[in-house]
Every structure is written in structure tokens, then in C-alpha cells.
Amino acid sequence: MKDLTEYIIPFSGLKIGNHNFTFKIQKTFFDAFEYSEIKNGELTVELLLEKSETMMVAYFDIKGDVTLECDTCLGDVIKPITKQYRQIYKFTDDEDLNLTDEMTHVSFREFEINVAPLILEFINLCKPNKVNHQEGECNEAFTEVLNKYLLVEEKTESKSNENNEIEIDPRWNALNKLKNKQ
């Protein structure tokens, strides 16, 4: 992870109460994480940090667009993202404390938190599992080559009109005879 000092929040100097932070997420942010699937985007992250004596609650409001790779033609697809997340930072020196995904342990000796990895995680949670262009927008040259080499299985089963039984490939008949003997 490269230099992301603008995402470090020195909470020890903050008074108890609410604090607002705004982060602009662009290509340089994603470049800092070499393992990031997202390579580009234009997002705004509004962070409301509620600090108390025993914990901090961070509310992330993420809005913007990310550029993803199409699963079919490998071209760029721009997807909008709008999502809110909450993260709880619990001040404790008890490392055996049972924490959930929504809670993070912060030692009393620490004085700052880095929200950049958390922002990247939240953005990745927003991206769809399957990324495709709209119908007809994929790179036609690439999809033609893909379709040329794509294996399509032909169906060998057909319905019999007489008794609605499925016709099976005759090569499997010998195995079916063995199965029926048992």
C-alpha cells in the first residue's frame, strides 16, 4: 500500500462529539492498492465520526462511479455506487474481545486510524458479482472471436411424445441396465 496519509485520522486530538470528513476517491487511490480489482473511479466518501470516551462510530456514505472490467469482452464498464456502511472502533486493550465484522479493536496506546483499507473494502462490497455491458455494447470483434472458440454442448436428449419419457444417449443404456438390476 502506497502513501495514503490523507486517509489517516488522528482521533486522539479530536474532542468528544461528531466530526465530518470528506474523501475524494480517484485512480490514485486504487493504484495504491496493487491487489485492487477496481482500477479507476470517481467517488466521494462522506465520513461522520462520532467519538465517545470508550469508542468511535464511523458512518461511511459512499457515492460515485467505478470503472470495472466486463466479464465478456474485458472492456471498461462504468457502474454507479451508492451505499452506507457503519464501523465501530472499540477502545480496549483486551485482545480477546469478541468482535464482529462491524467492530474493530483499537488499543488505548493508538492515536490514529487509517480508513483507506476500509474504504476500499466497502467499495469492493458494492461492486456487482457479474459485470457486463448493456446488450449490444460489448466489443463486437472480441465477442466474435470468443464465440468462434466457445464450446456449446448440443442436447442429445429429446422428449418422447408417447409417454413423456426422456430419450437418453444410447451409449448410456448399458449402464442403465446395470443400475436397474440393483
pLDDT digits (tens, 9 = 90+) for 84-105: 999 998 888 776 666 677 888 7
**Are the beta carbons of 4 and 26 closer than 8 angstroms?**
no
Q: Which residue in the block uniquely carries the three cell numbers 483499507?
A: 117
Residue 1 predicted with pLDDT over 60: no
The phi-psi region of residue 136 (left if phi > 0; otherwise alpha if psi is between -120 and 50; otherwise beta) is left
The mean pLDDT value of the chain amounts to: 82
pTM (2 decimals)? 0.73
Supply 69's cell numbers: 472490467
Supply 154's cell numbers: 448440443
Residue 79, Cβ density class (10 Å: 0-12 exposed, 13-18 middle, ≥19 buried): middle
